[in-house]
Structure formats: structure tokens, C-alpha cells
A and B are shown apart, each in its own frame.
Chain A
Amino acid sequence: ETGVTQTPRHLVMGMTNKKSLKCEQHLGHNAMYWYKQSAKKPLELMFVYSLEERVENNSVPSRFSPECPNSSHLFLHLHTLQPEDSALYLCASSHPVGTANTEAFFGQGTRLTVV
């Protein structure tokens, strides 16, 4: 158990559905991240939250909407997705950049399939 929990582990959704991915960390970290992992491509950074403020939005389409209500929880709201959005979505947490130990810990991911 890495201390970062993602739910659900698997999700199949139609292109007109709305769903949310959830991430929770119990490591006392103040920075949280969403990454997308597609086949044959490096992990792609999507969003970064530090101290509950979004500090980076890596040119992600608006059909992906993040939410960070507190330092322990991170959501990714999904709507009107495309089949090419099918991927493994990974959440991570760490202490913010510039602090003593910024080792990042990842959840097990949500395998998303858009049909």
C-alpha cells in the first residue's frame, strides 16, 4: 500500500457520460498530480496542485476538469470524452517542489475505457 488510493480501478464510459475519478492520500503531502499513461508513450503530466491551488495545466482539453477540495483529495471530472482518451490515469502526491524531500508516490491508477 503506497498511501495513495485511487477509485475506481476500472471504468468504462460512453462518450456522452459524466464520471469522476477520485484520489486520496494519507501521506501528509501538499502537492498532488494527475498523469495520463497511454500505450507506447511516456507518462504525460495533466495537472498539478500545490497547497490546493492549481499551479499547472498542461494544455489538457476542457473535457477533463480537476478539483482539489483539500490537500488529501483530488478529483478528475470527465465529460464528453473521446475514444482516444482511453488510458491509465495515475494520481501522485509529494511535498511541494523546493521542500526537503519531494519523493513522489503514485496510486494504482484507474484504467479508463471510452466506448
Chain B
Amino acid sequence: KQEVTQIPAALSVPEGENLVLNCSFTDSAIYNLQWFRQDPGKGLTSLLLIQSSQREQTSGRLNASLDKSSGRSTLYIAASQPGDSATYLCASQAGTALIFGKGTTLSVSS
């Protein structure tokens, strides 16, 4: 059964810092890996999708990488801003649906 772990659980940084969020998964036979953002009490917003055949995806200040062999993905956020404060979730798709980690709650102070 697929298990997804995210480290750290919480992170506080000053504005302008570059940061890395980590995600690991136990079953390397995945179809894809997706990163989401969730604001308090809201739904999930898709940030990046990495297909199993890809190594990374970029969108603006976000870059996500995927290493299937080691069961790891990272989300890199460049030049963080207070508006980036949210919970970031990674999810892997190894079967019929996405399996989620608990998330990393990010706080960026101005």
C-alpha cells in the first residue's frame, strides 16, 4: 500500500528565502506525482504535475523534481513571498487515485 511522507511538517522563513519541501513515497511504480497548495478551510489548488517519465516541472517560481528510483520528490520555491504561506501537499498516483501526504505548512514572514 502506497504511503506518502512529507518533511518538514511546518516551516517558517523570512520573505525572500529560497526553500525546499520534501516528499517521499514507498511504491516507486507511480503514474505521476502532483503538488498542491491548500489555504486554510479551502480546497486544493494544483501547482505542478510530474508524469512518471519526467524528471522535473517548472511553473514560475516553483520547480518540482521527481526521482522514482529513490521514491522522492522535492518542491523548490524561489524568492518566497508572504502570499506563499499555505499548506503544500504532495500526492502520488500508483493506482486508481491520488494518495496524499500530511502536508508541509509554510509561513513566510514579511
Partner-B contacts on A (CB < 8 A): 2, 4, 6, 33, 35, 40-43, 45, 48, 50, 55-56, 88, 90, 92, 97-98, 101-109, 111
* Given the contacts A97-B93, A108-B43, A109-B43, A103 and B100 also touching, CB distance less than 8 Å: no
Beyond A40-B102, A97-B96, 10 extra complex contacts between A and B, CB < 8 Å:
A4-B43, A41-B102, A42-B102, A43-B98, A45-B97, A48-B96, A48-B97, A102-B49, A103-B32, A106-B46
How many cross-chain pairs have Cβ atoms below 8 Å apart between A and B? 66
* Interchain residue pairs A-B with the least CB separation, the first 4: A106-B44, A108-B43, A43-B100, A103-B49
Band of interface residues on B? 20 to 34
Could you list 20 examples of A-B contacts with CB < 8 Å? A2-B43, A6-B43, A42-B101, A42-B102, A48-B96, A56-B97, A90-B44, A92-B98, A97-B31, A97-B97, A98-B31, A102-B32, A102-B93, A103-B32, A103-B46, A104-B34, A104-B91, A108-B42, A108-B43, A109-B42
Which residues on the B side are within 8 Å of A55 (C-beta)? 96
**Complex Cα spacing A88 to B41, Å:** 8
